[in-house]
Structure 1
Amino acid sequence: MNHMRIRAMIVSFAVCLLATMNVNAQKRIVSLNGAVTEIVCALGFEKSLVGVDVTSTYPASMKEVTKVGHNRNISAEPVLALQPDLILATDNFIQPAVIDQFKNVGVKTIQMKQEFSVAGTKKLITDVAAALNVPEKGTALIKQLDKEQKTLHVQSHPKKVLFIYARGAGTMMVAGKETPLDKIIALAGARNAANGFNDFKPLTPEALVTANPDVILMFDDGLKSMGGVDGLLKVQGVAQTNAGKQKKVITMDGQLLTGFGPRVIQAVQELSTKLN
């Protein structure tokens, strides 16, 4: 009987050891999405990240992690050069041919669906936690998000908000429907002034006149690239909008505003407060 007990204990120990090894097997992780990176860090795997895309700006420690390019134009070589054990990505940006390259060389690659909503964020947390073999940590993080959501106070704003992406006056785009900006504006209780098209399109004076926003929303660094509000007002058509006349321009951190990661409730609350 004692022999059988000892054998059972050994088997039990081996199972636990293998489970632990499985959890810690991913020593070198590359994340190709800012929200995924935030989730990986929130789940306790920050030190396992050896490479991230340029949208991975939070937490601040990601500044020290090797950048492999923007998730819209990732190529396989700089990622594989980091010798990752696991590559995490979403299915909305990375080219299928690049994903095939990762898999063809035997690197475990997991793509997850990213939906720009609070429910989508919770699903992404569940998927990342599953990929890292820590489902219980994912559940805990979602419960934390649930608590934040219960304390969220959003006032309905009749204001029309136009998001302008800028990298100086030479590169300016507006966000239409089915974009993260469109979704976050709606969650904050306002409405997107650019509603006649999907995705992004170049900013034109005609588009500004048609949209006639009450508020212009930009990334912090985007407005800075324009030389501040005064520089933005020099762009043809801006001064003629309701937002331009009242100098109603608000800014937020880019990844916080559009990431739809674990800080999504914080982002909604901040935007709603600034609109109010």
Structure 2
Amino acid sequence: MKKVFALFLIVTAMVSCNNKKEQDTTTVENTTVKERIISLNGSITETLVALGEKENIVGVDVTSTYPTDIKETAQDLGHTSKISVESIMSLNPTVIYATDKDIKDDFKAQLEKAKIRLEIIKQEFTIEGSKQLIETVAKSLNKDNYKELQDKIDQDLQGLKAFDNKPKVLFIYARGAATLLVAGDKTPANSIINVAGAQNAVTEFEDFKPLTPESLLNSNPDYILMFTTGLESMGGVDGVLKIEGINQTNAGKNKKVIAMDGQLLNGFGPRVGQAAKELNQLLSE
């Protein structure tokens, strides 16, 4: 009888031990390791926040301006051209996000050497490109709740006013009167102008070129479009109207100078539909 009782105790102890091991294993498997994310692109930052990752973002670049309080919880690392590997490493990131245009090859090589996980995304400034950006970021984090963000873009694009005659819009990038550039073809400004139902006043060249009185006369825009910060740097609408040649354009004669937040206008992130709608409305006034 004593032998039977002793055997019972041994079996009971073994079962208890096995159960404890199973519980311990379950605990480990259910433990979610929190990411420590650095985002070096404003549109990616917006996307990460929209996907519920705000509390995991520990560092951002200068273009990450939305949501407006992002730099209260994440360290502002500045412009990508001036960010050091040391400043990034000090934040102990588990993953770094950037677009293929955000970091140079040598900086990328340094980060890879430091064995930090890099997610380099090719950004296309189109509606489909915005949707792809959302999907790529979501899947990199094993998230499947991105479809609603893509659908929101389509919802925002509904109800845009169709113009009988598409207004000609000239985007001017300004940093005071000393730095004035106009956006040509294959620029984010060109793309969002087209999405909003208008047309870029300049199509003769790609990228940006300095603004000249001749280009103003040749393009003769109906509207001047600027970043809000750019308009402020010119001293407001009155300052823009003082640019040589402006007063001879339809935009100048009718004082049609409009401005939008830079990240919203050119970001092509989750808010691209909202940006197109806002621009469409401004062009309808």
In the superposition, the TM-score normalised over structure 1's length comes to 0.88
Separation in 2, partners of 1:266, 1:72: 30
Q: Is the 8 A contact 2:156 2:277 kept in 1?
A: no
Taking the aligned partners of 1:29 and 1:235, their CA distance within structure 2 comes to: 43
Aligned to 1:243: 251
Counting aligned pairs with the same residue, the percent is 49
Aligned residue for 2:145, secondary structure, equals: helix
**How far does residue 169 in structure 1 lie from its aligned partner after superposition?**
0.5
Which residue of the other structure, out of 156, 162, 171, is the alignment partner of 1:155?
Answer: 162
How many aligned positions are there?
265
Cα separation, partners in 2 of 1:186 and 1:75, compared to 1, 3 Å: farther
Q: CA RMSD in A?
A: 2.3
Q: Is the 8 A contact 2:130 2:269 kept in 1?
A: yes
Is 2:210 the counterpart of 1:179?
Answer: no
In the alignment, structure 1 segments of 5+ residues that lack a partner are: none
Specify the alignment match of 1:229 in structure 2: 237
- The letter of the residue matching 1:188 is A
Secondary structure of 2:146's match?
helix
Q: Which structure would you say has the larger Rg?
A: 2
TM-score w.r.t. the length of structure 2 is 0.85
> Does 1:220 pair with 2:228?
yes
Alignment partner of 1:270 is 2:285: no
**Cα distance change on mapping 1:44 and 1:190 into 2, 3 Å:** same
* Aligned residue number for residue 131 of structure 1: 140
Give the CA deviation at 1:255. 0.6
- Distance verdict in 2 for CA 1:244–1:75, change over 3 Å: farther
How far 1:209 sits from its partner (Å)?
A: 1.7
Matches of 2:177 and 2:49, distance apart in 1 = 35
Q: Is the 8 A contact 1:74 1:98 kept in 2?
A: no
How far is the alpha carbon of 1:20 from its aligned partner?
5.4
Give the Å deviation of 1:18: 4.0
Contact kept in structure 2, 1:176 and 1:195, CA below 8 Å? yes
Matched, 1:122 2:131: yes
Q: Distance in 2 between the 1:162 and 1:88 partners?
A: 32
97, 115, 118: which is aligned to 2:106? 97
CA distance in 1, matches of 2:28, 2:154: 33
SS in 2 for 1:63: helix
Aligned to 2:10: none
In structure 1, the partner of 2:268 is: 260
Judged with a 3 Å threshold, the aligned counterparts in structure 2 of structure 1 residues 185 and 105 are, in CA distance, closer, same or farther, namely same
Query: What letter matches 2:66 in structure 1?
Result: Y
